Amino acid sequence: MSIVQGEQKMMKSQIRKERPSAGAILWSALLVLGMAMPLAAQRSVPNIGKEIEGGTRPAGESAGEGERVKPRPPRPVQPNRRRRAARRAAAEYSRLSFIEVTFITGVPDVAIYWMDRGTTRFLGRTGDDGRVRLRLLPGTYDIIASRPGYASQRKQITVSNGANSFDFDYTNVAKGISASSATAKEVIERFVDPQRTDSVTLDDWQAALAQIRGELINNPVDSQLRARADFVQGQINLLSGNHSGAIVAFNSAALRMRDSALAYWGLGSAYLATNRLREAERAYQRAVELDARSALAFKGLGDVAVRQGKTKEAIEYYKRAMDLGYRSPEMMLQMAQALLRQRRWGEALPLLEEVARVRPSAEVFIAVGDAYVGLGKPMSAAPAYKRAMELDPKSALAYYKYGELSFEMREYGDALQALERALVLDQQGRVINLARARQLASRAAEMARRER
């Protein structure tokens, strides 16, 4: 090899060392493209967010030569939904055909109320001329006229173009409060008295609320009056079947009068009506804490215990209520049935006989018959079951009990007739044991044929 060839070989080797690899070339190309793409995007995409109405640009920015900037159209203003709804409601209201109605009482300061689905709504008050003019829609209204010192009057009126004047004449109404139209305070006092609790009616509560609403007009900030109104409204809702409304009203009364056992009793009763047993129990317990002599609260605790299947506890609560003077037929029947479940026949029978005298029903006489059967006195049980069938000819349970007892007493003809009637009345077996009823009816039919 010559000297010249050796130098050429060394130069080629040096060139190979300095030549970049294919991977390095690819990486550099990607890097250049990555830097170029955002710049191109920035140049190609218009920055709409920096434009403003009228086509102007912020300071420091200008349109390119020959570039035409289009003004951005103003965004349409959407009307407020509430305002639209209010305008529609106002339009509907204006189209309604109201009738001017006159209520005549003959004396001033008589408050007129409308009983609307368990809620009392104040309409107006008579002036010095004993009249008040109102605008009402055509229809039927349940109206109460109330004035302190007078008996409240209640009428159902029908407003129409031909009937727009209604008379609640107080000139011939004697002053003083009758038992059925007492003031709110007197109604509540009567209700709290265990011996008179059941004498308070829905009409009493409604009249009481009308009287309280009248007082609130002159004393709108009186917290005691408002609490009393809440409680009475709760009672009206409870008796009318508006249980959710009763919960709200009694809760409001309890918040206004935190030391009122009666408010918590009402709350417990509303919860019990909706089968919210834990809440009901807590409310009744709170009522007992505030008033250890609250017969109504103990009765409520007994009702909760019955629903919970706590028979012994229920009996003790009912006994406590009775010791405090509360002896409603409903509670005594509940207590007697609890005693029957405990097989305490002798204790249940006197309660049942007392209820049967005051409020006879098929349910009561079936329980009387069961008590006599438990005491081993079938001859006394049979008349009780017969009486139950007379009071409710559709009571499948009464016929079943009588048929079962008649079979055991070998009165097969009576047993067959009663059991067949029970099977007809309760074909689904909701209250009777279908299998046993069919078996006893078949055996009774066979025994009756043999006796012939």
Mean pLDDT of the region 343-347:
96
pLDDT above 70 as % of the chain: 75
What pLDDT, on the 0 to 100 scale, is given for residue 93? 56
DSSP type of residue 96: S
Domain boundary among 276, 310, 327: 327
Structural domain includes residue 379:
no
Is 213 found in the same domain as 154? no
Q: Which residues contact 349 (CB under 8 A, 6 or more apart)?
A: 336, 368, 371, 372, 375
Q: How many domains does the chain have?
A: 3
What pLDDT, on the 0 to 100 scale, is given for residue 251? 94
Segment of 109-123, 174-188, 367-381 carrying the highest mean pLDDT: 367-381
Is 295 found in the same domain as 272? yes
For 227-272, what is each residue's pLDDT tens digit?
Answer: 999 999 999 999 999 999 999 999 999 999 888 999 999 999 999 9
Structural domain includes residue 253:
yes
Per-residue tokens: 182: 């007492």
Output phi, psi for 172, to 5 deg. -105, 10
Structural domain includes residue 20:
no
Structural domain includes residue 333:
no
For 188-199, what is each residue's pLDDT tens digit?
Answer: 888 989 888 888
Which has more confidence, 237 or 170?
Answer: 237
What domain range is 160 assigned to? Answer: 90-167
Is 228 found in the same domain as 109? no
Is 138 found in the same domain as 204? no
CB atoms within 10 A of CB 359: 14
Answer yes or no: are the C-beta atoms of 231 and 249 closer than 8 Å.
yes
d(CA 266, CA 270): 6
Structural domain includes residue 82:
no
Choose among 279, 284, 283: nearest CA to 298.
284
Is 296 found in the same domain as 210? yes
d(CA 356, CA 108): 49
Is 312 found in the same domain as 211? yes
For residue 260, the Cα-to-chain-centroid distance in whole angstroms is 22
Is 198 found in the same domain as 320? yes
Structural domain includes residue 270:
yes
Pairing status of strand 119-125 against strand 139-146: unpaired
Per-residue tokens: 331: 């509670």
Domain boundary among 167, 202, 219: 167
Is 207 found in the same domain as 156? no
Q: Which residues contact 181 (CB under 8 A, 6 or more apart)?
A: 151, 152, 204, 207
d(CA 126, CA 422): 61
Choose among 256, 335, 269: nearest CA to 297.
269
Is 298 found in the same domain as 438? no
Answer yes or no: are the C-beta atoms of 287 and 268 closer than 8 Å.
yes
CB atoms within 10 A of CB 330: 12
Structural domain includes residue 358:
no
* Residue 329 vs residues 176, 311, 351: alpha-carbon distances, Å: 32, 18, 9
Mean pLDDT of the region 167-186:
58
Predicted TM-score of the model (pTM): 0.62
Structural domain includes residue 11:
no
What pLDDT, on the 0 to 100 scale, is given for residue 79? 58
Is 430 found in the same domain as 402? yes
Domain boundary among 167, 189, 213: 167
